[in-house]
Copies of this chain bind each other. A is one copy, B any other.
Amino acid sequence: MRFSTRTRYGLRFLVRLAEQPKGVRLQLAQVAREENISPGYLEQIVRALKPLNILCAARGAGGGYTLAKSPEEINLEDIFLHLEGEIAPVSCLEKNKNCLRMGCCTTRTFWQKLDEHMRLFLHNITLQQFIDSEHHF
């Protein structure tokens, strides 16, 4: 069970944005340099976050990114969902895939519980917790 670099890098990018005072833009290339992440790769990752609508992008020279919401309104379940593709721990649980063993599988319910447990954990963590020393882990 392992999360990809996509999720790790993406999260670090978002934490960087969350650390910024409201309205202050950060450029992707700069974050990539500071975080030691390949700029081209980070661009792909950030693009995957687009449909989530938590990013404000300014194009052109002097552009950059800000968060479209405040950090406490952004939870990790959503972020992980967009970066990992799906969080489901086993392929049997993916939607649009109905497992043949569904009726008889002794382990299916377990995997569902694990999935729920994971989602709940991630749902209750917001970007705010990464920057707030009070709620820091």
A residues near B, CB below 8 A?
1-3, 8, 11-12, 15, 19, 36, 80, 84, 87-92, 101, 105-107, 109-110, 112-114, 117-118, 121, 125, 129-131, 136-137
Minimal beta-carbon separation of A59 from chain B (angstroms): 27
The chain B residue sitting closest to A89, CB to CB, is: B3
The residue in chain B whose Cβ has the minimal distance to the Cβ of A12 is B107
Query: Which residue of chain B is the closest to A9 with respect to CB atoms?
Result: B107
Report the minimum CB–CB distance from A117 to chain B (whole Å).
6
Contacts of A105 in B (CB 8 A): 12
Chain B residues, Cβ within 8 Å of A87 = 1
Pick from B107, B114, B118, B136: contact of A15, CB under 8 Å? B107
